[in-house]
Chains A and B, each alone.
Chain A
Amino acid sequence: MSVVQESTQTTNVTGKSLFARLNARFDLRAYTMIIALVVIWLFFTVLTEGRFLTPRNLSNLARQVSITSILAIGMVMVIVTTHIELSVGSVLGLTGGIAAILQVWHFVSTPVAILVALAFGVLIGAFHGYWVAYHNVPAFIVTLAGLLAYRGVLLGITKGQTVAPLDPNFKILSSGYLSLVPGIILTAIIIISLVLSRILSRRSKLKYGFKVLPLYLEILTTVLYCGLIILATYVLYQYEGIPYPVIIVLVLAVIFSFITNNTKFGRQVYAMGGNIEAARLSGINVRRRTLVVFILAGFLASIAGVLTTARLNAGTITAGDGMEMDAIASCVIGGTSFLGGIGSIPGAVLGALVMASIDNGMSMMNTESYWQMIIKGIILLLAVWLDIKTKKNK
């Protein structure tokens, strides 16, 4: 419960339990996921006698998580509008397959192959959005149809074969690393923009009399974040450097966080998810927004498709199979609400990291794959239960 005061100039929260106080000061939810992640990592580090935390494995993990993260970024927006996109796994497979076929069988250059694949992603997304927004067909059905059909198309155009190998300049998208000097420059840019944005946001909040953290905490958390970024960079350079897919995920996460938080489009999408009638009566073109949300999801799925093809060095018929479920699970673990209107991009990326960490850790422990599936299922259920529980307590 928040404390209601007579004025709009509220600063402090007093006289509540420690939990409530912590909850009011920080957005505890955002941190529970980080805490959960740390616990999972420690757990696997102990069980694998430290092999989990080696730079090599963490670099691997980062690469693994990138594809799910990209799908999850698109999925957040779809779920926020109370829809669902079940076909992203098949779209990933199909667009990745198209890129591979163009290059391997038709000798098309890498940039052109990629652009064509992305264009297909956009078209497929538009097709879904058209049915959902303009014909009121439930998204579940439209995208379930897509899930079946695109896998079939993929099977047809590849004639059931694995399409390989690709040009080295395609492969490098997934296997490449940013070398040391550009890596340091990138890290520096990230840190400087983080610090700047926090200073600016604090100033603006103070100006308008919003709640802000006490200065020492603000500095502490900023230093902590910077430390984490430096540590992550350091660890990655202990191995080969920053993998390209990680850079792509970061760029996409930043762009889409910006879109969802700071643009008219993003705000209207969240409002639609929260109350579609109120949004419509406030003059929002809910159909067009829905269309665009599906286009973005298709576009992101095709990026994931291109990266998958690069990673496998081939177009395969099973690429992306079942990935839609990982993406949905990542969103949900990351705090996206199926009731709509709530959900964040960083949350979904963290959710993907939680899922991938569990996968990776169990693989290292040589856990049989059926156990991996069972445990992932249990974690998904528990995460959502916990979320509902803590919301009720609020």
Chain B
Amino acid sequence: MAGYILEMRNITKEFPGVRALNNVNFKVRAGEIHALCGENGAGKSTLMKILSGVYPYGTYSGDIFIDGEEQRFNNIASSEAAGIAIINQELTMVKQLTVGENIFLGNEPNRFGIINWHQLFYEAQKWMSAVKLDINPRTKVVNLGVGHQQMVEIAKALSKNARILILDEPSAALTENEVDTLMDILRKLKRDGVTCIYISHKINEIFKIADTVTVLRDGETVDTKPIAETSENEVIAKMVGRELSNRFPRVEHETGEIVFEVKNYNVFDPDNPQRKIVDNASFYVRRGEILGIAGLMGAGRTELMSSIFGGFPGESYGEVYINGRKVEINSPLDAINNGLAMVTEDRKRYGLVLIHDVKKNLTLANLKKYCKSGVVNPNAEVYDSQTMVKTLSIKTPSLEAKVNNLSGGNQQKVVVGKWLLTKPLVLIMDEPTRGIDVGAKYEIYNIMNELKKQGVAIIMISSELPEILGMSDRILVIHEGKINGEFRHDEANQEKIMLAATGGN
């Protein structure tokens, strides 16, 4: 068997307050397809960013060897020079340029700065056939589907003489046919002697294509094994096998009647309209119940909920019932008027007007309540925001402090507060505790418990398994847009959820 082309030894990487990688060892043999697995946040992307020079030498500790030689990458260019190319989950192409121009972007064949277009397109054609892509290199990238764009990315990487190709979640945005083509190309590349590191959540894919699998968990290497010597269940067990600590103040509460029901809901990708992001989802939630929605990143959870809320750009169809009455929701305003509220993920982008103050942010979704013929009544507004600041114990110098100056946890409470002021029947929370500290998380959980007691139905999307298990009364697992499992609180465990989330039954 061939020797190791790549060795990463004792890699440790710290971010302020977190140790993202702890003494990780990662070895890849020449010419193999090596899968890298782990839960959301296990450290896969961080490790690959170190390898591709995004985090330069000196910002981490540990050593990288390629063909037995130590490497110190100061930037992406030096890692590319060593033959490493990364294809990110979000494609990085200039959409208005042609395929050929994109392949040679920044690297155009030229003489005295004048581009030789004939040579460029001639060579682009060669690389296109290397990835079995039969399109004219003069086509604009914007006219290609996501799958083809990905192939172009691979061609671009190969044109830089990449010997080690890193693919970060390459199949996340692809249809099934496109995934098959991708697999074919990877097998062909393998025959040509290119080494691939394949990051994926999808265990079945890994077992179809990889030779070896390495599992990361909480920033540590758990195991590396040839694929033939392991099983899907073993990999999953290794991905999740951590102790569950008692950080979740879940309370038992009698749930009421069904308040919200969705039937046969479908959502399509706005960039790739043939692709279904959500496929025939049906579910319900009761008064005073927390419904956890688990799944891997890109499974379609956010798209499902924000589409129901009227805030997603892709096409969708399906039926939504509130208290048994069918409702038509075409915009967030419709959703709010029907008693829905949605704490969006990424509070800075979707939740807050950062340059405005706490009070204005709190009342934004519910201004009409404080208005008489269009004029805001400042007293009522201040009274309600003051109450909300107290109820949620939002730490702010005053109601007039800019939200920008608050801590992440307090910002998140402002978003929650904004939606609570609309007195929702159903509160959707998308990653409600992402990026906030443990104390603030605990407070958010307590708020959820309080709401549950008041009879609010909560739908919580979370990528953190412990949170899903710790807080939910019932758990739905979504895999590639389909609901692939439903568990009561008392029957759920990490293995069951992870198996369902990766496509098993």
List residues of chain A with CB under 8 Å of any chain B CB: 1-6, 8-10, 204, 208-211, 262-265, 267-268, 270-271, 274-275, 277-285, 341-342
List residues of chain B with CB under 8 Å of any chain A CB: 309, 311, 331-333, 335-337, 342, 344, 349-356, 360, 364-365, 367-368, 371, 374-376, 378-379, 382-383, 386, 389-390, 395-401, 405, 418
Chain A positions within 8 Å of B368 at CB level: 264
- Other-chain residue from B336, B344, B360, B375 in contact with A283 (beta carbon distance below 8 A): B336
Please determine whether A282 and B418 come into contact, CB atoms closer than 8 angstroms: yes
Chain A positions within 8 Å of B401 at CB level: 2
Contacts A4-B397, A10-B398, A267-B360 given; indicate if A341 touches B335 (C-beta within 8 A): no
Q: How far is the CB of A5 from chain B (nearest CB, A)?
A: 5
Task: Identify the interface centre among A3, A210, A267, A278: most chain B CB within 10 Å of its CB.
Answer: A278
Q: How far is the CB of A275 from chain B (nearest CB, A)?
A: 5
Chain B positions within 8 Å of A274 at CB level: 353-356
Which 10 pairs show the lowest CB-CB distances between chains A and B? A274-B353, A283-B333, A282-B365, A283-B336, A275-B353, A264-B371, A282-B364, A283-B332, A10-B397, A264-B367
Expressed in whole angstroms, the Cα–Cα distance for A136 and B289 within the complex equals 41
Closest to A201 in B: B378
Please determine whether A279 and B364 come into contact, CB atoms closer than 8 angstroms: yes
Expressed in whole angstroms, the Cα–Cα distance for A200 and B16 within the complex equals 47
Kindly list 18 other residue pairs between chains A and B, CB separation below 8 angstroms, not including A8-B396, A8-B397, A274-B355. Answer: A8-B389, A8-B399, A210-B399, A263-B375, A264-B368, A268-B364, A270-B353, A271-B353, A274-B356, A278-B353, A278-B364, A279-B364, A280-B311, A282-B336, A282-B418, A283-B333, A283-B337, A341-B353
Q: How far is the CB of B357 from chain A (nearest CB, A)?
A: 11
Chain B positions within 8 Å of A209 at CB level: 398
Expressed in whole angstroms, the Cα–Cα distance for A2 and B398 within the complex equals 10
Please determine whether B371 and A281 come into contact, CB atoms closer than 8 angstroms: no
Please determine whether A262 and B367 come into contact, CB atoms closer than 8 angstroms: no
Expressed in whole angstroms, the Cα–Cα distance for A9 and B309 within the complex equals 36
Please determine whether B374 and A264 come into contact, CB atoms closer than 8 angstroms: yes
Please determine whether A208 and B353 come into contact, CB atoms closer than 8 angstroms: no
Please determine whether A211 and B400 come into contact, CB atoms closer than 8 angstroms: yes
Q: How far is the CB of A135 from chain B (nearest CB, A)?
A: 16
Q: How far is the CB of B106 from chain A (nearest CB, A)?
A: 29
Chain B positions within 8 Å of A204 at CB level: 378-379, 382
- Other-chain residue from A3, A268, A281, A285 in contact with B397 (beta carbon distance below 8 A): A3
Expressed in whole angstroms, the Cα–Cα distance for A3 and B375 within the complex equals 32
Chain B positions within 8 Å of A10 at CB level: 397-398
Q: How far is the CB of B304 from chain A (nearest CB, A)?
A: 16
- Other-chain residue from A6, A8, A282 in contact with B332 (beta carbon distance below 8 A): A282
Chain B positions within 8 Å of A1 at CB level: 405
Chain A positions within 8 Å of B350 at CB level: 277-278, 281
Please determine whether B333 and A263 come into contact, CB atoms closer than 8 angstroms: no
Closest to B379 in A: A204
Q: How far is the CB of B412 from chain A (nearest CB, A)?
A: 13
Please determine whether A268 and B375 come into contact, CB atoms closer than 8 angstroms: no
Please determine whether A285 and B353 come into contact, CB atoms closer than 8 angstroms: no
Chain B positions within 8 Å of A263 at CB level: 371, 374-376
Please determine whether A8 and B360 come into contact, CB atoms closer than 8 angstroms: no
Task: Identify the interface centre among B360, B390, B397, B405: most chain A CB within 10 Å of its CB.
Answer: B397
Chain A positions within 8 Å of B365 at CB level: 282-283
Q: How far is the CB of B163 from chain A (nearest CB, A)?
A: 42
- Other-chain residue from A211, A265, A271, A342 in contact with B364 (beta carbon distance below 8 A): A271
Please determine whether B399 and A2 come into contact, CB atoms closer than 8 angstroms: no
Contacts A5-B397, A208-B382, A271-B360 given; indicate if A281 touches B374 (C-beta within 8 A): no
Please determine whether A210 and B418 come into contact, CB atoms closer than 8 angstroms: no
Please determine whether B374 and A265 come into contact, CB atoms closer than 8 angstroms: yes
Q: How far is the CB of B449 from chain A (nearest CB, A)?
A: 24
